[in-house]
Structure 1
Amino acid sequence: MPVHTSDSARGRRGRGAGIGLALASAVAFGGSGVAAKPLIEAGLDPLHVVWLRVAGAALVMLPLAVRHRALLRRRPGLLAGFGLLAVAGVQACYFAAISRIPVGVALLVEYLAPALVLGWVRFVQRRPVTRAAALGVVLAVGGLACVVEVWSGLGFDALGLLLALGAACCQVGYFVLSDQGSDAGDEAPDPLGVIAYGLLVGAAVLTVVARPWSMDWSVLTHSVPMDGTPVAAALLLAWIVLIATVLAYVTGIVAVRRLSPQVAGVVACLEAVIATVLAWVLLGEHLSAPQIIGGVVVLVGAFIAQSSTPAKGLPDPVASGGPERELSSRGTAT
């Protein structure tokens, strides 16, 4: 059966490539907050950093937007949604959150996205979910309570937490839109074209919101301290644009289309770990033992909710590979 052997080998190679792309995306996304926070602490407004990130990436991807201009006619809703939620919404909320709370905490809160989706589907749409998915939600929420140390009362920055939750809500849109058309064969929208126009739409929206003409551009001409070590602001910006945005989105959305939701979700969980470790090493943001334990519980809960199998007898439950299967894979964003 040489054909079957060949197909199997191609499948393994494609799966390996998909895992590699998802891992690269997790590393790239995970480093965005670490590079952005010194710029914010040096005087740039979080929205200005987001605008620089998205506008710079949009310029880099402009040739691809021109090449795939037919998407404007074929999928205008997809492009607008991707730009508003997956680009502008996620990044603005996340960068605003890390200006008030640690990078690792903000990203761990983002990982409530699967729980938010499952809660909406179960209690609002009244559709069944698997028991494993429900257990994952409970674990994720319990872990979040440890991450934000709820026992300390209102000592935690409530606005920073709300902004991180906003990023989680927008991340749901990223999950959904990244997988749009993956089963349409040749009719599927090209992922690179979707990213390019998503960045252009995001840049246009953020230009109105952030008003970059009021930004202190001189910050970008100097060095900024990263846990006491001076680093060129332009170098950090280049990392944010080229690695943490262009590379992260491209590898992420392609990985979503190559992998099963379960595998992509597992690899995506590494983003929170990578961001926390980088923030610890490069920014000196040390999390307490309960926060670390809570973070592990959040990731375990997210993993269970993402990789759960269907409950017997349930009509295509959520978290079982049905219509909502795209919600369990991170292209990751962030």
Structure 2
Amino acid sequence: MAHDITTPGSAAPLSRMSRGLLWAVLSAASFGMSGALARPLLDAGWTPGAAVLVRVALAAVVVLPFGIRALKGRWHLVTENLLTIGLYGILAVAAAQFCYFSAVQHMEVAPALLIEYTAPAAVVVWLWLRDGQRPSWITLAGAGVAALGLVLVLDLASGASVSPVGVAWALAAMVGCAAYFLISADEDNGLPPISLAAGGLTVGAVSLGALGFAGLLPLHATTVDTVYAGHAIAWWIPMGLLGLVTAALAYTMGIQASRLLGSRLASFVALLEVVAAVVFAWVLLGELPGPMQFAGGLLILLGVVGVKLGEPRTAEIEPLPIAGDLDAAA
């Protein structure tokens, strides 16, 4: 039985679209926190591989029991979707996170993030080529406005240097990001969102651990205190937030959003992660965004609206049985 979310002070359930947008915004905000939390850890001596491995492993440990519960004994859903779970764990979890942190090692954060977030455009192109879902001119215009907003938010006009190696890593992260939206939106596999998240996080943690054990992934961690907004904080606090909030909750809510909105719209709403990242960098690292960045955030919102307006009009769909699995497992 699905559980509808209700607005405060009202018994009326939110529509499928409203619920999807709520999960998408919360997921984007959670993911957006990761950069500001991880930067001081990397500065303290953590390697990207170690930070990503601990983050993903912690999230897997937390989400796995809920994912198993949501299956309700339907283990055939796992065996029938081993390839999907494997691809999600390797591409959407392990590769996307590791490649982005690797890109940041070779180039500035802004251009690396911009390259990764060409993923929504890649999703539109992929659906066009695979399913013939040719985007309307409104969708294309919305994508263009959102891209312009990203340029302003990331303040690329300041002249960031670009490394070919960094660009290659960022493009690899873009592939993982696009896979995240496409696989998350697949309703036909029957997997509850939280079960897919649990399986993907587990596969991601195991694959990263295997690479580290084989010596192919540098793993180094420290217990040095991290510094946020001028305050020293024990390393385990930001690492715990990275695992619980920016991974466990973010991936689960992101899958739920993609199931309700579809991969195209969900991927564009996820652009709000960039805005969230700017805000968290301001609060935690003291990096105050300028007027251009605020204007860019507004353009991203307008672009998301344009993308939605450009989608074909369809009848309202009744909430899927899996739509309540996140609440039921919580």
TM-score range, shorter chain: 0.7 to 0.9
TM score, norm. by length of structure 2: 0.74
Q: Using a 3 Å threshold, how does the CA distance of structure 1 residues 307 and 160 change in structure 2: closer, same or farther?
A: farther
CA distance in structure 2 between the aligned counterparts of 1:112 and 1:240, rounded to whole angstroms: 24
Match of 1:228 in 2: 230
- Unaligned ranges ≥5, structure 2: 1-10, 317-330
Q: Are 1:178 and 2:184 counterparts?
A: yes
Say yes or no: does 1:82 pair with 2:88: yes
- Residue pairs, 1:238-249, within 5 angstroms: 238-249=240-251
Match of 1:329 in 2: none
Residue 124 of structure 2 corresponds to: 118
Rounded to whole Å, the distance in 1 between the matches of 2:130 and 2:18 is 38
- Is 2:169 the counterpart of 1:163? yes
Secondary structure, in 3 states, of the residue corresponding to 2:238?
helix
Q: Which of 59, 79, 93 is 2:99 aligned to? A: 93
Is this contact kept in 1: 2:182–2:263, CA < 8 A?
no
Matched, 1:215 2:219: yes
Residues 255-294 of structure 1: CA deviation (Å, up to 9, x unaligned): 3334466875665343221111111232233556666656
Q: Secondary structure at the match of 1:188?
A: coil
Aligned amino acid, residue 242 of structure 2: I
Aligned partners of 2:139 and 2:16: how far apart in 1? 28
Paired residues for 1:1-334 under 5 Å: 12=14, 16-64=18-66, 66-67=68-69, 68=71, 69-100=75-106, 106-120=112-126, 128-142=134-148, 147=154, 149=156, 152=159, 155-181=161-187, 184=188, 188-211=190-213, 215-217=219-221, 219=222, 221-259=223-261, 264=266, 267-286=269-288, 297=299, 300-301=302-303, 303-305=305-307, 307-310=309-312
Q: Secondary structure at the match of 2:226?
A: strand
Tell whether the 8 Å contact from 2:120 to 2:264 is kept in structure 1 after alignment. no
Q: Give me the whole-angstrom Cα distance separating, in 1, the residues matched to 2:111 and 2:25.
A: 21
Paired with 2:20 and 2:129, the residues of 1 have a C-alpha distance of 34
What's the offset of the Cα at 1:122?
5.4
Mapped partners of 1:157, 1:286: distance in 2: 26
CA distance in 1, matches of 2:197, 2:174: 19
Give the C-alpha shift of residue 98 in structure 1: 3.9
Moved more, 143-152 or 60-69: 143-152
Please, what TM-score do these two structures have when normalized by structure 1? Answer: 0.73
Query: Among the aligned pairs, what percent are the same residue?
Result: 33
Q: Give the direction of change, closer, same or farther, for the CA distance of 1:176–1:264 in structure 2 (3 Å limit).
A: closer
Distance in 2, matches of 1:175 and 1:10, equals 29
Tell me if the contact between 1:266 and 1:303 (Cα under 8 Å) persists in the aligned partners.
no
Q: Secondary structure at the match of 2:14?
A: helix
- The CA deviation at 1:197 is 1.0
Question: Structure 1 252/141 Cα, relative in aligned 2: closer, same or farther at 3 Å?
Answer: closer
- Answer with 28-37 or 204-213: which moved more: 204-213
TM-fit CA distance, 1:161? 4.2
1:267 and 1:83 mapped to 2: Cα distance? Answer: 22
**1:12 match: secondary structure:** coil
C-alpha distance in 1 between matches for 2:108 and 2:289: 8
Query: In structure 2, what is the Cα distance between the partners aligned to 1:298 and 1:19?
Result: 15
CA distance in 1, matches of 2:290, 2:104: 17
Unaligned runs of 5+ in 1: 1-8, 322-334
Shift of 1:238: 0.4
* Cα distance in 1 for residues equivalent to 2:110 and 2:161: 18
The separation in 2 between residues aligned to 1:140 and 1:14, in whole angstroms, is 24
Q: 1:289 to 1:167 in 2, by over 3 A?
A: farther
C-alpha separation between the residues in 2 aligned to 1:88 and 1:297? 31
* Comparing 124-133 and 84-93, the one that deviates more: 124-133
What amino acid maps onto 2:77 in structure 1?
L
RMSD of Structure 2 on Structure 1 (CA): 3.7
* 1:62-108 alpha-carbon deviations (Å, 9 max, x no partner): 33455544333111111111111111122112223344556565444
Q: Displacement of 1:132 after TM fit?
A: 1.8
Corresponding letter in the other structure for 1:41: D
Q: Describe the SS at the equivalent of 1:230.
A: strand
